[in-house]
Amino acid sequence: MLNIKNEVLVRLYLLAAAVLLGAVVISGRLYQLSVVQAPKWEAKADSLFLKFVDVRADRGNILASDGSLLATSLPFFDVHFDAKAEGLTDEAFMENLDSLSWMLSTYIDQQYTPGAYKDWLLALRNADPSTRGIRYVPIARDLPYNKMQLVKQFPLFRLGRYKGGLIVEQKSKRERPFKLLAQRTIGYVREGALPVGLEGSFDKVLGGNMGKQLMLRVPGDVYIPVNDLAEIEPNSGDDIVTTLDINIQDVAERALLDACKAHEADHGCAVVMEVKTGAIRAIANIGRIEEGWWEKYNYAVGERVEPGSMFKLASFMAMLEDGFVDDFNEQVPVYQGKVKFYDEELVDATRHGLDSMSILEIFAQSSNVGTATLVQKYYGDNRKAAAFVDRLKSFGLARPTEIEIGGEEAPVLKSPEDNKSGWSGTTLPWMSIGYEMLLTPLQLLTFYNAVANDGRMMKPYLVERVENYGETIKEFRPVTLKRSIASRKTIRKAKELLTEVVNNGTARNIRTDLFQIAGKTGTAQLNYHKFKPAAGIRHQAGFCGFFPADNPVYSCIVVISEPKRGGYHGAEAAAPVFREIAKQCYALKGELHPPVNSQEAQPLPGNQLPVVDAGSGKDLRNALDWLDLEWYGEKQMPEWGVLKPEKDSLMMLPRLVSEKKVPLVVGMGLKDAVYLLENRGCRVRVKGVGKVARQSLAPGTVIHGRRTIVLYLN
């Protein structure tokens, strides 16, 4: 019994000793791992760390109304080399080293020789595994697709990612095929900067949904993709189709740029809007920079300034709507172009020396004195002045347009009922001519567009629809901000005032016989209330209107800021730009042309009838048949004939040709004339182009020998 007990105790002691020894060994190993070998294992852990990172989706396109690309994302590729790729053997590396070095030197960077590339690749391959950066070495950046495909065929690299060490990463770059065209309106999205334009406003639509890519952390705190493909594929962004017309946009930018250069202006803008819908067909912004000219800011949307005389339309419409003005022939005192309101003197832009002008002349000639005198007469006290401001607000002039792109600020209109607005005794007369207020060009154009649209105010908009691979997923329709800003009578009379400006007023220099323009010039003094004239006056020239005046299709505003050469008035700097845009639109757009059969055909006066035509009877007959024209004369077609207009008919008369005398060839084409004369032995000399108008030898002259005859064509 005792022996058994001793045996059990021995076994227990041995087991306890074994456990104690194991604990000592484990403790020692733990100490070795956590203290002695800690740096080694921490580095190892760092080198094998995996994580998911976001992968950006392909960004959607921005398109013009006709489908032209305004902004798109193109794929570019960064190529890296993993010198310690798991499947890359020394044999494969050395076998391809020389040829790879030559390819890199020839196609990637020619400033390095094949020998230099070879030494560099060897250094990467033979570097200590703990050396920073050997796993993810840049080979080339921003390669286009075809160049990336070429790199994939290089020796060693063609073995792929694991056996050849090639790492290719795709990224997208935003490109604008039309470069400067509508650049600020298209805008951008950049890290560390506020989003701008359509790119910024529609960032979520264009950006799509992020994907996920598994990345491996290697020495140097660098992450390399584990696979070429994303673990979770990103969803591409949708496309947006804008209202911009690429042709009108190009016309507006070219005309504006030419004007800014010619007048040495600081900046300018031009906007073209479709009257019935409010769709923006062009929005151009040009500003001066050190290198030349660029779209550095969206002045049309974001620059609030005093509009000057372009605002006079609102003042006259207020008086029309309130019944103070009706007869445009009514004479109003203009005090020879100079009048005082309290201690402030108001003058007309041009010295005319007139004591009075009609209401129509005051508007057409843009008389500051006449306009301010009328407004002061009817709205002179604070109560009536408040009614004047309320009337302006009823025209929609106090509300922002809420266009899709950012940067717009609300208009500023002073009011005698607002003690903080800075209203004074001189505010009303100066407000009537476009001062002591702030409006953006687009806000003012929206008001003019409502006048062109018979009083209906439309919301300006830049995006027609959102598409996904050509399929419409969201559509933006025209929005009416106000069904009528004024009565029909007021709108009709406002159009009459605007048409008179171009026909006989300050903008008569832009009249054209092709169509009628309605609009108003404006010349604002930007620093009139801050500096004396001696300190240098800065001006802003503007013109706002619509065309064709009788059936408006487009409205347009042009603003040129601080012109320094060639005139600073609206008629000199801005109106010609408007005219150029309007003429080009007229040439481009068939809807601006009246149908040729819209009116009953009228008989042509005698001086507009065709002149005499002569030639081969057969050719004349073929031409008349092709044109489906009736003619009168002998039933049998003569060999040589003459077409002669007689009142409302065409007469076919025979022309007799003698074999031995000089024939009459006046009215013939050159082919028939030369045929007849040379067959009768004449030498023919020709001057001019067209039909024969005169011949040097009189018809009927007897031909003796070979005579020379000169034909004068016209």
Q: pLDDT category, 530, cuts 50, 70, 90?
A: very low
Determine what percent of the chain is predicted with pLDDT higher than 70.
Answer: 88
Q: Could you tell me the two tokens for 205?
A: 């639509």
Between the alpha carbon of residue 50 and those of residues 164, 218, 220, 667, the distances in Å are 22, 9, 14, 92
Q: Average of pLDDT values for 76-89?
A: 87
Residue type, 554: Y
Strand 239-242 relative to strand 62-63, pairing: parallel
For the stretch 347-358, pLDDT in tens is 988 888 889 999
Distance, CA of 253 to CA of 181 (rounded, Å) = 7
Q: Average of pLDDT values for 295-307?
A: 92
- Mean pLDDT across the chain, nearest whole number? 86
Confirm if 335 and 328 have CB atoms less than 8 A apart: no
User: What is the signed CA dihedral for 542, 548, 551, 555, rounded to 10 degrees?
Assistant: -30
Q: Which helix (H) or strand (E) holds 587?
A: helix 575-588
Distance, CA of 130 to CA of 554 (rounded, Å) = 69
* Alpha-carbon radius of gyration of the chain: 42
- Quick one: which of 316, 317, 280 has its CA closest to 408? 280
Distance, CA of 310 to CA of 270 (rounded, Å) = 15
Which range, of 201-205, 386-390, 485-489, averages the lowest pLDDT? Answer: 201-205
Q: Which helix (H) or strand (E) holds 588?
A: helix 575-588
Phi and psi angles of residue 244, each rounded to the nearest 5 degrees, phi first: -65, 135
In CATH terms, the fold of domain 657-714 is Trypsin Inhibitor V; Chain A (3.30.10)
- Per-residue pLDDT, 133: 47
- Per-residue pLDDT, 510: 96
Confirm if 146 and 76 have CB atoms less than 8 A apart: no
Q: Average of pLDDT values for 246-263?
A: 95
Would you say residue 102 has pLDDT above 90?
yes
Q: Average of pLDDT values for 295-322?
A: 94
Placement of tokens 């740096």 in the chain: 39
Distance, CA of 327 to CA of 360 (rounded, Å) = 9
- Quick one: which of 682, 616, 681, 670 has its CA closest to 643? 616
Phi and psi angles of residue 624, each rounded to the nearest 5 degrees, phi first: -65, -40
First to last CA, the chain: 150
Distance, CA of 222 to CA of 25 (rounded, Å) = 38
Would you say residue 192 has pLDDT above 90?
no
Which range, of 106-115, 133-142, 238-247, 409-418, averages the lowest pLDDT? Answer: 133-142
Q: Average of pLDDT values for 671-695?
A: 88
Coil/strand/helix, residue 345? strand
Domain locations in the chain as residue ranges: 52-242, 249-591, 610-652, 657-714
- Per-residue pLDDT, 48: 52
Placement of tokens 């000592």 in the chain: 24
- Per-residue pLDDT, 188: 82
| E strands present in 290-330 | 292-294
Would you say residue 607 has pLDDT above 80?
no
Q: Could you tell me the two tokens for 367?
A: 């008389």
- Per-residue pLDDT, 236: 80
- Per-residue pLDDT, 458: 97
Q: Average of pLDDT values for 302-315?
A: 95
SS (H, E, C) 431-474: HHCCCCEEECHHHHHHHHHHHHCCCCEECCECEEEEEECCEEEE
Residue 390, Cβ density class (10 Å: 0-12 exposed, 13-18 middle, ≥19 buried):
middle
Between 31 and 616, residue with greater pLDDT: 616
Q: pLDDT category, 218, cuts 50, 70, 90?
A: low
Q: Average of pLDDT values for 178-182?
A: 80
Would you say residue 17 has pLDDT above 90?
no
Q: Average of pLDDT values for 388-414?
A: 94
- Quick one: which of 636, 647, 566, 666 has its CA closest to 606? 647
Residue 150, Cβ density class (10 Å: 0-12 exposed, 13-18 middle, ≥19 buried):
middle
Q: pLDDT category, 132, cuts 50, 70, 90?
A: very low
Phi and psi angles of residue 60, each rounded to the nearest 5 degrees, phi first: -65, 165
Q: pLDDT category, 551, cuts 50, 70, 90?
A: very high
Residue type, 336: Q
Q: pLDDT category, 29, cuts 50, 70, 90?
A: confident
Coil/strand/helix, residue 24? helix
Q: 89 — alpha (psi -120 to 50), left (phi > 0) or beta?
A: beta
Residue 207, Cβ density class (10 Å: 0-12 exposed, 13-18 middle, ≥19 buried):
buried
SS (H, E, C) 492-553: HHHHHHHHHHHHHCCCHHHCCCCCCCEEEEEEEECCCCCCCHHHCCCEEEEEEEEECCCCCC
Q: pLDDT category, 534, cuts 50, 70, 90?
A: very low
Confirm if 59 and 174 have CB atoms less than 8 A apart: yes
Q: Average of pLDDT values for 212-226?
A: 61
Would you say residue 561 has pLDDT above 60?
yes
Measured CA angle at 617 (ends 613, 620), to 5 deg = 55
| E strands present in 193-307 | 211-218, 222-225, 239-242, 267-274, 280-289, 292-294
For the stretch 37-75, pLDDT in tens is 777 666 555 545 666 666 677 788 999 998 898 988 888
In CATH terms, the fold of domain 52-242 is Penicillin-binding protein 2a (Domain 2) (3.90.1310)
- Per-residue pLDDT, 291: 83
- As a residue count, the chain comes to 714
Half-sphere exposure at residue 450, Cβ-oriented, CA atoms within 13 angstroms: 30
Cis peptide before 416 (omega within 30 of 0): no
SS (H, E, C) 29-92: HHHHHHHHCHHHHHHHHHHCCEEEEEECCCCCCEECCCCCEEEEEEEEEEEEECCCCCCCCHHH
For the stretch 590-603, pLDDT in tens is 777 777 666 676 66
Placement of tokens 């003197």 in the chain: 345
Distance, CA of 186 to CA of 198 (rounded, Å) = 5
Q: Is 0.75 topped by the overall pTM?
A: no
Between 204 and 210, residue with greater pLDDT: 204
Distance, CA of 84 to CA of 129 (rounded, Å) = 8
Looking at residue 337, the DSSP 8-state letter turns out to be: G
Question: Which one is the CATH code of 249-591: 3.40.710.10, 1.10.3720.10, 1.20.20.10, 2.40.50.140?
Answer: 3.40.710.10
Q: Average of pLDDT values for 443-463?
A: 97
Confirm if 669 and 691 have CB atoms less than 8 A apart: yes
Which range, of 215-224, 456-465, 692-701, averages the lowest pLDDT? Answer: 215-224
For the chain, the helix, strand and coil percentages under 3-state DSSP, each to the nearest 5 = 35, 25, 40
Distance, CA of 533 to CA of 537 (rounded, Å) = 6
